[in-house]
C-alpha cells in the first residue's frame, strides 16, 4: 500500500491526464524556489534536530489544530502554547484518531507526502497506526539526515526566504552566511510591528526601531529614515522583498503635514480606528515609494481579520487558526498608491487575496493593466487544489500567465515545503493540460509555460 499515487491531482479523463503527466515530467525535478514563507533562520543557523513528531507536525500548524479544535478537541489536550510538551505521544494519538477529519483537505495531501516521502510510512495515519508512525518519525528526526540543512539540500531548495521584523537583528541570517554553508536563506522585510498601530507594543516597537537605527523615531521624518535604513540593512543580507499584512488593501496619499500629525496621533495611542487605518494606508504608499527607490519587491497580504476568537486569543495568543478572511476592495483601496507609482516599470507590487470574488473582478483587471502589478499565488485557505484551479480559471483570461509570479509555499511547516510545491506543480499541469486538450494552447507552449510558472517567473518577479 502507498499513500501517494503518481497520477494524483491529474484530471480523470485519460487524454487530459496523459498531457498533464508529460507536462509534469518537464518540471518535476526543477529546484524549489521559495520566495515567501515563515520558516525560522535559526533552524539553519543552529542546524539542530527537529523535536518530536507532535511538536513538529501538530503544535505549530494552525491548519491542523484549527480543524481539530473545530470538532471539539481541546487546545489544552493538544498542549498548544506549551513550550515543552509533557506528553507528545498522547498529542500524536489524538491527532491520529482524528486524521479522518482532513479528508478532502490540502493538509491531508501535505502530510501524506511528508509521511511517505520523508519517513517512508505507507499506511494511512489512524488510531491503529499512531504509535508506529510516532516511533518511526521520532527515530528519523534524531538522524543527521533530518537536520534542517540536510533537509534543505534534500528538498533541492535553491532559495528560501524568511519573514522578519525590522526589530530583528538578523543575527541568524548573518550566522548562516558566516558559517560557509551554501544554502541561500534570505530575510524579508515585514514592518507590521512598527507600521500597524494595532500591533501589540506598537509604540515601544517604534521607539526600539529608533534605538536600533540611531534615528529619532518620535517624529515622522526620523521614523521614515529609520525604516529606510533598516531596509538597507536587510538588503545587505540578501533581502529582495518586503511584505505587508494589512486588514484591508487601503492606501492613501496624504500631504507631509497631515502625515506628521497622523503619526503623532497613532504614536501617542490617541488615534481612533479610522486614524489607525489611515496611517496603515499611508504607510503602504510610503513603502511603495521606498521600493521605487531601493528596488525591493513589495508584497501585500490583505484581508484577514486577525484573532477573531477573543477567548482563544486571550488564552493562547496570535496565529491560533482564528484569523478569518473578509471582503477586500482593491479597486478603490489601491488607487492612491497606484496614482503615484502604478506606472513605474521597475517597481513590482505583488498582490495576494483571501477574497476569491475579487480575483476575476478586480485583481486580474488591475494586474492586466498596471506595469507594476503582479498577482501572488493562491494564499492560505486557497493554497489547495481547488483554490489553485479557481485562481487560474479566474485570472488567466484577463491577466494571462505572465502577470503571475509562480508559487509561494508561505509556510511555517518546513517539512511540508516539497509537498506544497508538488501540489502547485501538479495543479498547474492539470490546468495547462485542459487548455491543451481543448486546443486553447499548443502543447509546446504549455511546456514552456509550465517551466515559467514553476521557476522562471518566481526568480524574475522576486529578483532572485
Please identify, using beta-carbon distances, which residue of 101 and 232 lies nearer to its own copies. 101
81 is a site residue for its own copies (CB under 8 A): no
92 is a site residue for its own copies (CB under 8 A): no
Please identify, using beta-carbon distances, which residue of 69 and 407 lies nearer to its own copies. 69
The residue to which cell 521606498 is assigned: 290
Please identify, using beta-carbon distances, which residue of 171 and 327 lies nearer to its own copies. 327
In this chain, which of 87, 122, 135, 442 binds its own copies, going by CB under 8 A?
A: 442
What cell numbers appear for 438 in the block? 481543448
Please identify, using beta-carbon distances, which residue of 133 and 165 lies nearer to its own copies. 133
122 is a site residue for its own copies (CB under 8 A): no
101 is a site residue for its own copies (CB under 8 A): yes
In this chain, which of 355, 409, 410, 422 binds its own copies, going by CB under 8 A?
A: 355
Please identify, using beta-carbon distances, which residue of 226 and 373 lies nearer to its own copies. 373
N residues, the chain: 464
Write the binding mask 3 to 42 for its own copies: x where contact by CB under 8 A, - elsewhere.
-xx-xxxxxxxxxx--------------------------
Strand order in the sheet with 157-161: 32-34, 157-161, 185-186
d(CA 317, CA 124): 32
249, 302 contact by CB (below 8 A): yes
Please identify, using beta-carbon distances, which residue of 146 and 462 lies nearer to its own copies. 462
Please identify, using beta-carbon distances, which residue of 195 and 322 lies nearer to its own copies. 322
310 is a site residue for its own copies (CB under 8 A): yes
| Residue 350 backbone phi and psi in degrees, to 5 | -100, 125
Name residues contacting its own copies, limited to 443-462 (CB under 8 A).
445, 448-449
End-to-end CA distance of the chain: 40
Residues pairing with 369 in the sheet: none
208 is a site residue for its own copies (CB under 8 A): no
d(CA 101, CA 251): 40
274 is a site residue for its own copies (CB under 8 A): no
Q: How far is the CB of 157 from its own copies (least distance, A)?
A: 25
DSSP letter string over 333-401? TTHHHHHHHTT-TT--EEE--S-THHIIIIIHHHHTT-TTEEEPPP-GGG-SHHHHHHHHHHHHHHHTT
The size of the interface with its own copies (CB under 8 A), counted in residues, is 93
Q: How far is the CB of 57 from its own copies (least distance, A)?
A: 17
Q: How far is the CB of 412 from its own copies (least distance, A)?
A: 17
Please identify, using beta-carbon distances, which residue of 106 and 210 lies nearer to its own copies. 106
77 is a site residue for its own copies (CB under 8 A): no
Dihedral angle, C-alpha 165, 167, 169, 173, nearest 10 °: 10
Q: How far is the CB of 403 from its own copies (least distance, A)?
A: 6
List, as own/partner pairs, every contact residues 114-121 make where C-beta atoms lie below 8 angstroms and the sequence separation is at least 24, other chains included: 114/57, 114/415, 114/416, 114/418, 114/419, 115/3, 116/2, 116/3, 116/4, 117/4, 117/418, 117/419, 118/146, 118/415, 121/3
Name residues contacting its own copies, limited to 318-347 (CB under 8 A).
321-327, 329, 331-332, 335, 338-339, 342-343, 345
Name residues contacting its own copies, limited to 371-410 (CB under 8 A).
371, 373, 381-382, 384-387, 390, 393-394, 396-403
In this chain, which of 31, 48, 49, 70 binds its own copies, going by CB under 8 A?
A: 70
d(CA 383, CA 427): 11
Amino acid at each position: 500500500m502507498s499513500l501517494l499515487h503518481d497520477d494524483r491531482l491529474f484530471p480523470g479523463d485519460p487524454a487530459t491526464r496523459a498531457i498533464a503527466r508529460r507536462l509534469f515530467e518537464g518540471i518535476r525535478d526543477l529546484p524549489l524556489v521559495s520566495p515567501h514563507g515563515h520558516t525560522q533562520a535559526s533552524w539553519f543557523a543552529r542546524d539542530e534536530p527537529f523535536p518530536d513528531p507532535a511538536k513538529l507536525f501538530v503544535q505549530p500548524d494552525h491548519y491542523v489544530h484549527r480543524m481539530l479544535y473545530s470538532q471539539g478537541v481541546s487546545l489544552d489536550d493538544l498542549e498548544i502554547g506549551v513550550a515543552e510538551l509533557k506528553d507528545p505521544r498522547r498529542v500524536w494519538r489524538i491527532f491520529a484518531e482524528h486524521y479522518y477529519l482532513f479528508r478532502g483537505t490540502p493538509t491531508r495531501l501535505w502530510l501524506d507526502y511528508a509521511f511517505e516521502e520523508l519517513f517512508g510510512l505507507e499506511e494511512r495515519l489512524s488510531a491503529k497506526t499512531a504509535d508506529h508512525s510516532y516511533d518511526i518519525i521520532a527515530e528519523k528526526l534524531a538522524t543527521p539526515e533530518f537536520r534542517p540543512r540536510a533537509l534543505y539540500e534534500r528538498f533541492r531548495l535553491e532559495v528560501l526566504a524568511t519573514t522578519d521584523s525590522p526589530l530583528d537583528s538578523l543575527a541568524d541570517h548573518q550566522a548562516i552566511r558566516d558559517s560557509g554553508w551554501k544554502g541561500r536563506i534570505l530575510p524579508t522585510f515585514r514592518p507590521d510591528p512598527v507600521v500597524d498601530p494595532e500591533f501589540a507594543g506598537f509604540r515601544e516597537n517604534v521607539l526600539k526601531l529608533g534605538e536600533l537605527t540611531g534615528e529619532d523615531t518620535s517624529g515622522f521624518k526620523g521614523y521614515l529614515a529609520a525604516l529606510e535604513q533598516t531596509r538597507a540593512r536587510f538588503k545587505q543580507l540578501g533581502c529582495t522583498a518586503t511584505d505587508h499584512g494589512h486588514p484591508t488593501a487601503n492606501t492613501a496619499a496624504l500631504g507631509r503635514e497631515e502625515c506628521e500629525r497622523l503619526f503623532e496621533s497613532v504614536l501617542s495611542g490617541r488615534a481612533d480606528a479610522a486614524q489607525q487605518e489611515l496611517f496603515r494606508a499611508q504607510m503602504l504608499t510610503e513603502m511603495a515609494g521606498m521600493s521605487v527607490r531601493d528596488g525591493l519587491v513589495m508584497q501585500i497580504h490583505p484581508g484577514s481579520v486577525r484573532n477573531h476568537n477573543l477567548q482563544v486569543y486571550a488564552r493562547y495568543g496570535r496565529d491560533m487558526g482564528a484569523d478569518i478572511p473578509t471582503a477586500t476592495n482593491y479597486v478603490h483601496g489601491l488607487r492612491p498608491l497606484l496614482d503615484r507609482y502604478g506606472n513605474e516599470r521597475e517597481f513590482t507590487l505583488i498582490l495576494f487575496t483571501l477574497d476569491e470574488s475579487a480575483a476575476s473582478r478586480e485583481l486580474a483587471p488591475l494586474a492586466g493593466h498596471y506595469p507594476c502589478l503582479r498577482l501572488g499565488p493562491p494564499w492560505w485557505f486557497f493554497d489547495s487544489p481547488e483554490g489553485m484551479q479557481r485562481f487560474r480559471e479566474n485570472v488567466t483570461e484577463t491577466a494571462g500567465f505572465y502577470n503571475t509570479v509562480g508559487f509561494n509555499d508561505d509556510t511555517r511547516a518546513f517539512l511540508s515545503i516539497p509537498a506544497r510545491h508538488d501540489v502547485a506543480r501538479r495543479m498547474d499541469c492539470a490546468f495547462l493540460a485542459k487548455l491543451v486538450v481543448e486546443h486553447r494552447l499548443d502543447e509546446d507552449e504549455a511546456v514552456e509555460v509550465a517551466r515559467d510558472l514553476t521557476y522562471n517567473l518566481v526568480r524574475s518577479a522576486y529578483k532572485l
